[in-house]
Chain A
Amino acid sequence: MNRSRGWIVTGVALLATVAVAAGSLALGGFDPWEAMRALVSGSLGSPTAIFSITLVRAVPLILTGLAVALAFRAGIWNIGAEGQLYAGAVAGVWVALAAPSSVPAWLLLPGILTVGGVAGAAWAVVPAALRLRAGVGEVITTILMNFVAIHLAAWMVHGPLQEARGVFPQTDRISETARLPVLIPGTRLHLGFAIAVILAVFLWAWLRYTASGFGIRAVGASPDAARVAGRIEDGPTLFRIFLASGAIAGLAGVVQVSGVTFALYEDFSPGYGYTAIAVALLAGLKPLGVVLTGVLFGALEGGAGAMQREAGVPAGWVDAVEALVILSILAADRLIRRGEA
């Protein structure tokens, strides 16, 4: 892709989004400046805001964003990151609660992270198999799996995994040994952030420098040429990528449990898996870019709470803005290409 065009598209898209967002606030009777001010101060206005709100919020967004970017890059429409995240969270919390207290942290933590990743991958198996064996479009199947996961998690916290005293639909809190250590003392920023950044760098290097990464890029760019000219069998490659994408989303879920919530409850995710689509697209599906856009959306969502409290803007508005980002990127890209032609 034309390098400078990528930046122009992003820039135009963001400008358009800000304009429409501000406009919609005004139409709704809210004061755009007040709302924006609350948004910015709530997300970036203080060290607490930056480290304990924005960056913490960015972790699941970066991870799911990487999962989505990887899949989309290979031509797989994985809209199921949300369900895969839940699967990872459920599996992770289950193992964390079931593990005997004698297990040390250095063993337990990698253990539950792995379990979460495997669960996320497992959650992608059904849509992947349906696509590869029966040619069923994965958009619908992954979305359906999301609903199944959400209900499954709800059932778990009402039933088998419910807290010991049985009052609220949530699990008990996991033990200290199962919690991700904090990176900066005094904040809530946990090791998950480092994991996310390292994973992004790893994916970037892998796609760019390895033979298998090249194969994925080829299959995503042109499955026909990859198959005929490159003799790369798209079937097995796509299956593996689909599962890898699910695994990363599953990792996002267990990291969220282990680093932030320390328990599982209903409506555990405010839609990270869907926001991830905006995160990935805005980053041009590039892993390193996802870190930046993940932080951007972390700020957006993190500041939304302040916006609601101080300016009275309903939380749902942020989702609408995120959708707007996606649409503006798409539109800007088409319009700019037309201008070039």
Chain B
Amino acid sequence: MTARPPAVEARGLVRRFGSVVALDAARLVALPGEVHGVLGENGAGKTTLLSVLAGLLPPDEGEILRDGRSVEIDSPRTARRLGIGMVHQHFALVPRLSVLENLMLGWPGSPLQLPVDQVSELARNLADTTGLAVPLDAIVESLGVGERQRVEIAKVLLQEPRVLILDEPTAVLSPPEVEGLLSLVRRLARDGAAVLFVAHKLDEVLSVADRVTVLRRGRTVLEAARQEVDEGVLAAAMVGPEAARTLVDRDTPEGGDSAGISGREGGLRARDRPGGSHAPGADSLAAEPVARLQEVWLGSDKGGWRLQDVSLAVRPGEVVGVAGVEGNGQRQLALVLAGEADPTRGRAELPPEPSFIPQDRRREGLVQEFDLTENMALRLHHRPEFRKGLFLRWDALEAWTRGRIQEFSVRAQGPEVLASTLSGGNQQRVVLARELAEEPEFVVAENPTRGLDVAGEAFVHDTLLSLRDRPEGPAGIVLISTDLDEILALSDRVFVMVRGRLEPVEAGPDLRRRVGERMLGAS
């Protein structure tokens, strides 16, 4: 019996970005016919490793072997010729072109011809063999997220890759869609391809992978077959033994169902609440809402409604979780709640300065070219204590910034450093410091932990919960997130955004499944 060489093997890959070492002698061995899970938390180097394999980035050092032969993957074209296809995390589709045009883009052949018939035929065959059907004439930007991903996958499958790389494919899907994807992945592996499946959620990888590789800080720290490991082992490899418990709690279904109330011992988020799960504390039930939306409708410039008949009362001392697949109006809801957008119809009663943690911290949360003091000034420039008539009191602002940097453990040399020099996690701390330092009564948080590592995520969650649990003047918090686990872990009440409507989900058992089904109503 001859051992078949690995479909793809990476040895000693090193890749640096300036002073940051993204890959530090990373290793990966993927065999044909297997589903290979690549695990690691945000920033561990998974995407960098995949980008190297897909020809998007050259490695600084190291070797890549394809079917046992050493190769140099210098461009996506080369990767394609080598039979490597990648489905990207942020879809590599041209939104304003049709599905067929996207499938034909980059198709080898004469520049003067469009392979319309050839590609259409192949797409039909693909639908017949794998069940993956895509609407050829639709314009991509009109499609929902789940459908766009299917187009992306079809595009890659048309090239008949022998190595298929999926980068965080489940991040934007509802639970039923995730199931569909995972069964497709299993079928592709059965047909002989090597499928590299990148994720940072343990349970998904465990349910489908034959073998796993764990990356931590750019190095390969574990390579094993599925039978040899369990969640605990994987979590310990990903984040180290101390933090492993938190990770397991976060990523496994049992922890998720009880939604952060009971059933969590010793975890950082344990808390006692009278009234059982999903009910706000008895005191706060009677309290005046800190923010209220009454029958709010928000129109879009292209006609149609982004928000339809949304009503919500947020009471002090509760976290309202809003789940949903991206693109169903969450952004608009966040903007209305934060006072940034006025409802077209209906009423929004909001406190004077809602604290808003926007999802795009780089572009909306901070001005990258400003230093930390100036970034703090974005919120404070109206305040009389920082003004002297028309002038800003920069000395006072700087002192204030210094204090907050300490309080929120921002790793920066001082208030004079530019925001752009900080890491993602630290930038988020700056945003939190600015928005939450004054103990606000109402907070809108939009995907606040996106792209953060476990430590950063824990910090955000702890901060939000401590605001909610504050003895004098507890805050009302709206958490809008596409991460269902996050919603379930923190929320007292859960809603789902479906096509612009805010729909409550009843408390009780099997919450995760019910929310998941409602989310699917969206795409």
Contacts and interface: CB of A to CB of B under 8 A. Distances in A.
A and B touch in the complex (CB under 8 A): yes
A127 B296 CA distance: 35
A27 to B, nearest CB: 38
A225 B368 CA distance: 9
B364 A211 contact: no
Given A212-B390, A218-B370, A226 B378 contact: yes
Given A209-B392, A211-B381, A212-B390, A229 B369 contact: no
Contacts of B434: 229
A218 B363 CA distance: 12
A221 B374 CA distance: 12
B79 to A, nearest CB: 25
B366 A225 contact: yes
Nearest to A219: B367
Contacts of B387: 211
A224 interface: yes
Contacts of B431: 229
A215 B364 contact: no
Contacts of B365: 225, 228-229
A316 B12 CA distance: 59
B394 interface: yes
A1 interface: yes
Contacts of B96: none
A177 B365 CA distance: 55
Interface in B338-396: 338-340, 356, 358, 360, 363-370, 374-375, 377-379, 381-382, 387, 390-392, 394
Chain A binding surface, main DSSP class: helix
Given A215-B381, A218-B370, A210 B364 contact: no
Interface string A204-247: 00000111101101100110111111111000000000000000
B18 interface: yes
A73 to B, nearest CB: 12
B367 A209 contact: no
A229 B392 contact: no
A217 B369 CA distance: 10
Contacts of B360: 224
Nearest to A340: B18
A226 B365 CA distance: 9
Interface string B201-230: 000000000000000000000000000000
A164 interface: no
B364 A224 contact: yes
Contacts of B340: 227-228, 231
A98 interface: no
Interface residues on B, range: 20 to 34
A1 B419 CA distance: 11
A107 interface: no
A221 B362 CA distance: 12
Contact of A228 (B364, B370, B381): B364
A231 B358 CA distance: 13
A217 B374 CA distance: 10
B18 A229 contact: no
A209 B388 CA distance: 10
A221 B391 contact: no
Given A224-B364, A229-B365, A211 B391 contact: yes
Interface in B426-443: 431, 434
A341 B18 contact: yes
A210 to B, nearest CB: 5
Contacts of A218: 367, 370, 374, 378
Nearest to B356: A228
Nearest to A2: B418
A215 B390 CA distance: 12
A75 to B, nearest CB: 12
A269 to B, nearest CB: 34
Interface in A1-53: 1
B413 to A, nearest CB: 15
B435 to A, nearest CB: 8
Contacts of A217: 370, 374
Nearest to B431: A229
A212 B390 CA distance: 8
A324 B294 CA distance: 60
B358 A229 contact: yes
Contacts of A230: 378-379, 381
Contact of B368 (A211, A222, A227, A228): A222
Contacts of B368: 221-222
Contacts of A231: 339-340
Contacts of A229: 356, 358, 364-367, 375, 378-379, 431, 434
Contacts of B18: 341
Given A218-B367, A218-B370, A224-B364, A209 B378 contact: no
B392 A225 contact: no
Contacts of B382: 211
A210 B366 contact: no
B210 to A, nearest CB: 40
B363 A210 contact: no
A228 B358 contact: yes
B378 A211 contact: no
B377 A210 contact: no
Contacts of A212: 390
Interface string A254-293: 0000000000000000000000000000000000000000
23 contacts: A210-B390, A210-B391, A211-B382, A211-B387, A211-B390, A215-B381, A217-B370, A217-B374, A221-B367, A221-B370, A222-B369, A224-B363, A225-B363, A225-B364, A225-B365, A225-B366, A226-B378, A227-B340, A227-B364, A228-B356, A230-B378, A230-B379, A231-B340
Interface of B: 18, 338-340, 356, 358, 360, 363-370, 374-375, 377-379, 381-382, 387, 390-392, 394, 431, 434
Nearest 3 A-B pairs (CB), nearest first? A230-B378, A228-B364, A222-B367
Given A211-B392, A229-B356, 18 more contacts: A209-B391, A209-B392, A211-B382, A211-B390, A214-B374, A214-B377, A215-B381, A218-B370, A218-B378, A221-B367, A224-B363, A225-B364, A226-B378, A227-B340, A228-B365, A229-B379, A230-B379, A231-B340
